[in-house]
Structure formats: C-alpha cells, structure tokens
Copies of this chain bind each other. A is one copy, B any other.
Amino acid sequence: MLDGVSLDQLRTFIAAVDEGSFSAAARKLNRVQSAVSAWIGGLEQQVGVTLFDRSGRYPVLTPEGVLLLADARHVVAGVDTLKARARLMTSGVESELSVVIDVFFPTSVVSAVAKGFAERFPLTPLRLFVEALGAAYQPVLDGRCSLGILPPLPQPFPSLVSERLGELPLVAVASACHSLASFGRRIPRQELAKHVQLVLTDRSDLTSGRDFAVASPSTWRLADLSTKHAFLKDCVGWGGMPLHMIEEDISSGTLVVLDVDDMPPSGFMLTMSAFHRPSQPPGPAGKWFVDQLKAVWHAERSAH
C-alpha cells in the first residue's frame, strides 16, 4: 500500500465503536470476527496507539481512541460527501451553479432563493455575480455563468435562450430638493434635458455606442447603482431607478417620482428574464433556481 492507514481500517474502527463489539461489527460488515480483529490490530499498530481496552468483556475506547475516533469519522464523512457529489454529477445535477444577476433585480428575492438553495442542494456551490447592463451579459456569453437573470438589451442576442420571469417598474426620480421635483405638472422631455441625468454606465463594451433611456445631453455616468442612488439623494441630478429600491425614499419624501411626459406614471416596465446558452441548458439546480426566483418574486409583489 502507499501509506499505512486505509479507509477500511477507519470504517472498521468506527463500526466497532458504534456496534459495541468486534463481533457485532463483523456481523454488520458481513465479515468474520477475526477479520475485524485484524483490521483494528493493524490500525493500532500503524498509528502506534492502543484504541481499545480489551481487558473486559466488551472492548472500550481508550481516551486516545476517543480523540482518534473523531478524526476517523471526519475522514469517512469526507469520503461520503465525495461520493455524494459524484453521484450528483452523474445524476445530472450541476456540480456548481454560477448565476449573474442584473443590479436592478430585487436583492431580497435573490437572497431568499439562495438561502433555500443551500438547503435543497447542499453539495452544489452557488456562485453569484451582480453586474449591470452588458457586463451582466458577458459572463453568460463566454460561459463563465450558466445562468443570467437579466433585462433585455436593445439588440437581441439570438445566441441565448431566455425565459421571462416578470416585470420590474422603472421610474424617473430626483431628490425632493431638486428643481424638477417641484415642477408641478407633467414634465416635457425638453425640460429634463436641461438637468444633469445620472446614468448607469456599462463596464463591458457590449453596448458601446448605445444608450438606454438617455434624455439629457448632460449626463453623469456611474458604474455602480448604489452610488447612483446616493447621488440622486444628494441632489446631484435626476435619473431612472427600479421602483423597489427607492420605495422607502419615496414614502419618506427623500426622493420624488418625476411625472415625465411620455412615460406611464406607474413607471416603465422592465422585463427580467433568465438567460442561458443553448449549449448549457440548466440542470435540476438551475431550473429550481429560476422557478424559485419567479415564485418568490411574485409572492413578494402580491404581498405588497
């Protein structure tokens, strides 16, 4: 053998402890008592520690045995998870699920689903990325993520398969101290153009040259949505935000929804969909993840 200790020794050791006697362990393992005796004797010899006190009728663990038993259980448990993971792989469940999620998607839904995921698929590590715009498409396109929870881009990606999850209201807002907030009536587009618009910028070059809902010639571009949020509250300018992220600010009066001319007052609805490459269809874990996102999200919206 390559090395003294073997798994069978450890398994026999554990069985002997659990069953209370070598003979019982032998019955459980479908071996003869002498075999168990030999295994344990070998183990004791290799580690150089007496595991059992055999002076009595039944062997009892020595204090050293108690400690080494914990190690042995740990090792065997490790082998079991290895085998369980392998079985999962052959059964088609993804051995790892990487998902990229657009910043606009409600975080509360994601965290709730992720929590359930850890219980449902304990052996499948979940890798979550949060990105914006084209940078969120990139990982799905190049295969780093097998799943993307994303809004549609202006130019469609026929190379991706998508499944609609639901709609997200997007509204234009400004701080209460902003002059647009007290404009009084429906704001025409020309009026918007007079003020600085805070726009989320794309870290990738997928959407270079294209802009989303940019109405003002003077724009500040921010790479991070929470920074944009803070700038809006600090009255730096106006901009679009997903409604769920600013509901508290609206009810507290910090931010005000702008009643823009060609925009419905309930906000512009942004469709969120689950995207994946045709060559990488989601397995059970991915399907479950998408279904849960849809279910939890709808439950949350109807609870409102």
B-facing mask of A182-201, CB < 8 A → 1, else 0?
00000000000000000000
> Of B68, B74, B85, which is within 8 A of A68 by CB?
B85
> Of B68, B78, B86, which is within 8 A of A86 by CB?
B68
* Nearest opposing residue in chain B for A15, CB measure: B2
Q: Roughly how many angstroms separate A75 CA and B10 CA in the complex, as a whole number?
A: 12
A48 touches B (CB below 8 Å):
yes
> Of B63, B81, B83, which is within 8 A of A95 by CB?
B63
Contact B48 A71 (CB under 8 A): no
Copies in the complex: 2
Given A6-B6, A11-B3; A64-B89 close (CB under 8 Å): yes
A223 touches B (CB below 8 Å):
no
User: Would you call the interface of chain A mostly helix, strand, loop, or mixed?
Assistant: helix
Q: Roughly how many angstroms separate A21 CA and B196 CA in the complex, as a whole number?
A: 61
Contact A82 B1 (CB under 8 A): no
Contact B49 A89 (CB under 8 A): yes
Contact A72 B82 (CB under 8 A): yes
* Nearest opposing residue in chain B for A29, CB measure: B2
A11: chain B residues within 8 A (beta carbon) = 2-3
Q: List 25 A-B contacts (CB under 8 A).
A: A2-B8, A2-B11, A3-B11, A4-B83, A5-B7, A6-B6, A6-B7, A47-B82, A47-B86, A48-B86, A48-B89, A48-B90, A49-B89, A49-B90, A63-B95, A64-B86, A67-B85, A67-B95, A68-B85, A68-B86, A71-B81, A71-B85, A72-B82, A74-B78, A75-B82
Q: Roughly how many angstroms separate A96 CA and B67 CA in the complex, as a whole number?
A: 9
A48: chain B residues within 8 A (beta carbon) = 86-87, 89-90
B-facing mask of A52-87, CB < 8 A → 1, else 0?
000000000001100110011011001101110111
A5: chain B residues within 8 A (beta carbon) = 7, 79, 82-83
A12 touches B (CB below 8 Å):
yes
| Interface residues contributed by chain A, number (CB under 8 Å) | 35
Contact A75 B78 (CB under 8 A): yes
Q: Roughly how many angstroms separate A165 CA and B82 CA in the complex, as a whole number?
A: 50
Given A2-B29, A47-B82, A90-B48; A64-B7 close (CB under 8 Å): no
Most chain B CB neighbours (cut-off 10 Å) among A64, A68, A75: A75
A146 to chain B, nearest CB (A): 11
Please provide the 6 A-B residue pairs with the shortest distance between their CB atoms, ordered closest to farther.
A47-B86, A71-B82, A75-B78, A48-B90, A7-B7, A49-B86
* Nearest opposing residue in chain B for A47, CB measure: B86
Q: Roughly how many angstroms separate A95 CA and B68 CA in the complex, as a whole number?
A: 10
> Of B6, B67, B82, B95, which is within 8 A of A8 by CB?
B6
